[in-house]
């Protein structure tokens, strides 16, 4: 998770998810200020975009999915 630096250095290199930490922190701070100021009373949910970084730890899985067009996850 979070595409840490070492995820590409281990064997096999690990598939991870990259998040925008700055944007996540900014949104968390904005939401906290909104709650503290009384503007928002209900809990908020914000979905931020992520990017999957595919490495060799999931290469076999990728090949199987490509071979098989019908699949449920």
Report the pLDDT value the prediction gives residue 13, as an integer from 0 to 100. Answer: 86
Per-residue pLDDT at 57 exceeds 90? no
pLDDT tens readout for residues 4-31:
777 878 888 888 899 999 999 999 999 9
Alpha-carbon gap, residue 57 to 14, rounded angstroms: 5
The pLDDT of 47-64, averaged and rounded, is 77
Where do the structural domains in the chain lie, given as residue ranges?
5-67
Per-residue pLDDT at 69 exceeds 70? no
Alpha-carbon gap, residue 35 to 18, rounded angstroms: 28
Per-residue pLDDT at 62 exceeds 60? no
């Amino acid at each position: 998770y979070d595409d840490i630096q070492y995820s590409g250095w281990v064997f096999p290199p690990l598939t991870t998810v990259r998040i925008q930490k700055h944007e996540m922190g900014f949104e968390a701070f904005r939401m906290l200020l909104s709650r503290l100021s009384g503007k928002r009373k209900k809990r908020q949910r914000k979905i931020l975009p992520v990017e999957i970084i595919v490495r060799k730890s999931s290469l076999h899985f990728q090949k199987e999915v490509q071979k098989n067009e019908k699949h449920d996850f």
